[in-house]
A = this chain, B = another copy of it.
Amino acid sequence: MVTIKDIAKAAGVSPSTVSRVVSNHPRISKATTQKVKKIMDEMGYHPNIMAKSLVSKTTKTLAIMLPRPAEELFQDFFFGELLRGILTQSTRAGYDMLLAAATSPQDESETIARLVLGRRVDGVILLSARTNDPLIDLLNQHDFPTVLIGRSDGHHNILSVDNNNEQAAYDATQHLIIQGHERIGFVSGPPNLTVSHDRMAGYRRAMKDASLPVRGEWIVEGEFLQQSGYRAMSFMMGLPERPSGLVVIDDVVGFGVLRGLNELGYSVPNDISLVSFNNIALSELATPPISSVDIGTYQLGYTASQLLIRRIMEEDIYQSRMIIPHRLIVRESSIQAVNKRS
């Protein structure tokens, strides 16, 4: 391997001078710069990133800490879009991305400790916030640059990027109410995720504002998997009084709901109307196309990365909590036949 010393020797200068050439230091003459650069090219020199990181105490690397278990996440287009947003921005800013997964709960803290306290990364993006995330405490304790995608109860001093999920669910629910629905159900996600809470709260507020009753059996919790949606329907459609409209926490779950309703012989949107969240690429290709709240997934990731890098650069950050706007995309799954005819 060719090192900075080899270049220095070959060019007849000191290693420091080569180092300055590499980092475009102003106090190097054009002649020397050219000479050194030529030799670097000839000898195929590439700076050893580890040595550089050791001395500069900076790795130019960010970590994405994946929640555990990660299966659900990878099953969802949502994650791909988020990742794309993060990666695009961090690549542009000259940062590498480390994908960190944990296999067990204690391993999660250990992984973070290894990466963060071992100075392997300059910052961390946390995904899928739980209602009380111990990782956030750990990272805050060490005052380590962290951005949370989502929201965590009881942590107000952490940088975060999120949607207004409460309002998003309000809008989705209100849309169904405007379409004339009075019995509206909610297919939720894992109960320990704040996103489940927030969307549920918005659903409840919309129902309350319209003076509509919310029945306990119209709310079903599950995972971000199609199977959850499918199972929710087996249960909900067996009720004596079943809802005529459904708000579903995630498009993939929505696909499962659609399949369940289909098999049970219900027609969407004529028998049951449907609105879900995230607006993944395939939701407009469902039969019927699914109405969905676009939460700006790419933007969410892009902004998180941007915010994190700003924090690392120690720029002044005035807003610790950034909200990405959402937008309800109305499609066939929530437009009743009567409206369609008009």
Interface centre among A46, A74, A88 (most CB of B within 10 A): A74
For residue A158, CB closer than 8 A to chain B, the reply is no
Distance to closest chain B CB from A342 (angstroms): 21
Chain A interface residue count, Cβ-Cβ cutoff 8 angstroms = 56
Give the CA-CA distance A31 to B50 in the complex, in Å.
34
Of A94-102, A129-137, A146-154, the one contacting chain B is: A94-102
Copies of this chain in its oligomeric complex = 2
B282 touches A120 (CB 8 A): no
Q: Which residues of B are found within 8 Å of A71, using beta-carbon distances?
A: 84
B46 touches A113 (CB 8 A): yes
Given that A80-B74, A287-B262 are contacting pairs, would A49 and B119 also be in contact in the complex, using a CB cutoff of 8 Å? yes
Given that A54-B48, A258-B285 are contacting pairs, would A84 and B103 also be in contact in the complex, using a CB cutoff of 8 Å? no
Q: Mark A97-135, 1 if CB is under 8 A from B, else 0.
A: 111111100000000011101111000000000000000
- Residues of chain A from 46 to 84 with CB closer than 8 A to chain B in the complex: 46-51, 53-54, 59, 61, 66, 70-71, 73-77, 79-81, 83-84
Q: Which residues of B are found within 8 Å of A49, using beta-carbon distances?
A: 114-115, 118-120
User: By DSSP majority rule, is chain A's interface helix, strand, loop, or mixed?
Assistant: helix
Given that A92-B103, A97-B98 are contacting pairs, would A80 and B84 also be in contact in the complex, using a CB cutoff of 8 Å? no
Interface centre among A81, A84, A113 (most CB of B within 10 A): A84
Q: Which residues of B are found within 8 Å of A96, using beta-carbon distances?
A: 98-100, 115, 120
Distance to closest chain B CB from A61 (angstroms): 8
A to B CB contacts below 8 Å, 20 in the list:
A46-B113, A50-B50, A51-B54, A66-B87, A71-B84, A74-B83, A75-B77, A77-B77, A79-B80, A80-B80, A88-B101, A96-B115, A96-B120, A99-B99, A226-B281, A226-B282, A226-B285, A252-B282, A255-B282, A258-B285
User: 10 other contacts beyond A46-B113, A48-B119, with CB at 8 A cut-off?
Assistant: A48-B54, A49-B119, A50-B50, A50-B53, A50-B54, A70-B87, A74-B83, A80-B80, A98-B99, A252-B282
